[in-house]
Amino acid sequence: MIKRAKRADRIATVVICFFAMLIVALLVGLLGYILVRGLGHINWHFLTSTPQMIRGGGGIGPQLFNSVFLLILTLIITVPLGWGGGIYMAEYARGGRLTHLIRLVVEVLSSFPSIVIGLFGLLVLVNTLGLGFSLLAGSMALAVFNLPLMVRTTEQAFRAVPKEQKEAGYALGLSKWKIITSILLPVALPSLITGTILASGRIFGEAAALMFTAGMSSPPLDFTDWNPLSARSPINPLRPAETLAVHIWKVNSEGLAPDAKEIAAGASAVLVILILGFNLAARWLGRAAYRKFTAAKRMD
């Protein structure tokens, strides 16, 4: 009886360890595959030249620019709204019915499929508001996609601030808002920044919400023209903008170029490298901030 139990214990341990290691192997395999397949295709020409739909040798220059620019636009919209919402939830919400409702709303919003957000953008932003397929519509859709996450991380960051900090502020006779902006915000800032960077990684790889809002094409861009009102300017918010992630999908689904697979592999590698960069940056910043505020040697 005891022998059997011990044998079962050993078997279970081996099985659990095996599957856990399998996941690590899976990750290493995935990353290795993407990088090995894609890195060979990445060079300066590929990163800067325009894509070709029919002939080979196309690059991903405009798409790369669009991805980064869209990310910046989205953060401009999301950060004030998301941080504000998070501050409300942490400092002003009174735990009544309304708070429960808002919590439910945040939960539902964060579990909406991104394609539904994209369709909503198509219907409301692109058609009803008449923005057309544009950077503006795309960044608004991404903001919807990103808001719940921002609100949640902000709330957690503010709740993690020690109570004494707030009490000290009240003792000095400061107003609530002054305490939030001058005392709590600086302390919560490291985790806010970490959360924002991680969210950026998510935005960067998002495609389904963008296909129908930022569009699936990119007009010929003139990088010497920085007037946001002209049609060929890269920073014109009303021009369509295909991002890197959307481009990968398009090349795979309807790519006619002979080197479509290589382009997709190269673009995937670029995307993954950038997201790895985001992840490492967030981790490093989080650690540095953690050390600074707690004088701890290591973070587990």
Partner 1 sequence: MGQMGKDAALNQGVKNRKRREKHYWEDWIGRIYTSICVVVLLVVIVSIVFFVSSKGLATFLENGVRLREFFTGTRWSPDESFGALPFITGSFAVTLLAALIAGPLSLCAALFMTEILPGRGKRILQPAVELLSGIPSVVYGFIGLTVIVPFIRDYIGGQGFGILAGCLVLSVMILPTITSIMADALASLRGGLRESSLALGATRWQTIYRVVIPTVLPALLTGIVLGMARAFGEALAVQMVIGNAPHIPSSLTESAATLTSTITLSMGNTAMGSVHNNALWSMALVLLAMTFVFVILVRLLERRNRI
57-96: contacts with partner 1 (CB under 8 A): 80-85, 87-89, 91-92
- 168 is an interface residue for partner 1 by CB under 8 A: no
Query: C-alpha dihedral over 28, 275, 52, 54, to 10 degrees?
Result: 40
- 112 is a contact residue toward partner 1 (CB under 8 A): yes
Cα 41 from Cα 62, distance rounded (Å): 17
Least distance to partner 1, CB of residue 123, Å: 5
By the 8 A CB rule, do 207 and 249 touch?
A: yes
> Is 235 within 8 Å of 228 (Cβ atoms)?
yes
Cβ atoms < 10 Å from Cβ of 1: 5
Does residue 185 belong to the site contacting partner 1 (CB under 8 A)?
A: no
238 Cβ neighbours under 8 A, 6+ residues apart:
131, 132, 134, 135, 136
Closest distance of CB 243 from partner 1, Å: 10
Footprint of partner 1 on residues 199-228 (CB under 8 A)? 201-202, 204-208, 211-212, 216
Residue 44 binding partner 1, by CB under 8 A: no
Q: Which is nearer to partner 1, 181 or 230 (CB)?
A: 181
Query: Does residue 142 belong to the site contacting partner 1 (CB under 8 A)?
Result: no
| Contact pick of 42, 109, 235, 285 for partner 1 (by CB under 8 A) | 109
Q: Give counts: helices (H), strands (E), the chain.
A: 12, 0
Nearer to partner 1, 32 or 228 (CB): 32
- Stretch of 46-54, 116-124, 217-225, 228-236 lying at the interface with partner 1 (CB under 8 A): 116-124
Question: Could you write out the DSSP letters of every residue in 74-123?
Answer: HHHHHHHHHHHHHHIIIII--SSHHHHHHHHHHHHHHHS-HHHHHHHIII
Shortest distance, CB of residue 222 to partner 1, whole angstroms? 27
